[in-house]
């Protein structure tokens, strides 16, 4: 059985680009404008995967607690309700 998948060799250009990748992401620079990505399918796919992971990770941030005013309104409404213990 033959394997039709292409294997992409990591070139010195790839290694240099990938060494700079974290700082490029941190700088919020337009990664698609990087010349290396125009010619390297492997690194281009890597960047797309990392962008996707970063987008999904933002969804994991904790939801902010409601403001104190919301809690006060809830308490106020609870106090208005007749006691159910009666």
Per-residue pLDDT of the chain (86 residues; tens, 9 = 90+): 444 444 566 678 899 999 999 888 888 888 888 999 999 999 999 999 999 998 888 888 777 777 889 888 888 888 887 665 54
Long-range contacts of 22-30 (CB under 8 A, 24+ apart): 25/50, 25/54
Number of domains in the chain: 1
CB 41 within 8 A of CB 8: yes
Which segments of 1-86 does DSSP mark as H helices, in order? Answer: 12-26, 35-39, 41-58, 68-80
Residue 29 covered by a domain: yes
Residue 19 covered by a domain: yes
Domain limits at 37?
12-80
Distances (CA, A) of 17 to 10, 20, 27, 51, 73: 10, 5, 14, 16, 54
pTM, to two decimals: 0.57
């Amino acid at each position: 059985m033959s394997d039709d998948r292409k294997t992409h060799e990591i070139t010195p250009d790839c290694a240099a680009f990938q060494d700079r990748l974290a700082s490029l992401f941190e700088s919020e620079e337009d990664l698609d404008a990087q010349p290396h990505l125009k010619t390297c399918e492997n690194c281009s796919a890597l960047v797309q995967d990392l962008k996707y992971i970063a987008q999904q990770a933002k969804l994991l941030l904790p939801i902010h607690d409601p403001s104190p005013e919301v809690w006060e309104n809830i308490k106020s409404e609870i106090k208005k309700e007749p006691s159910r213990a009666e």
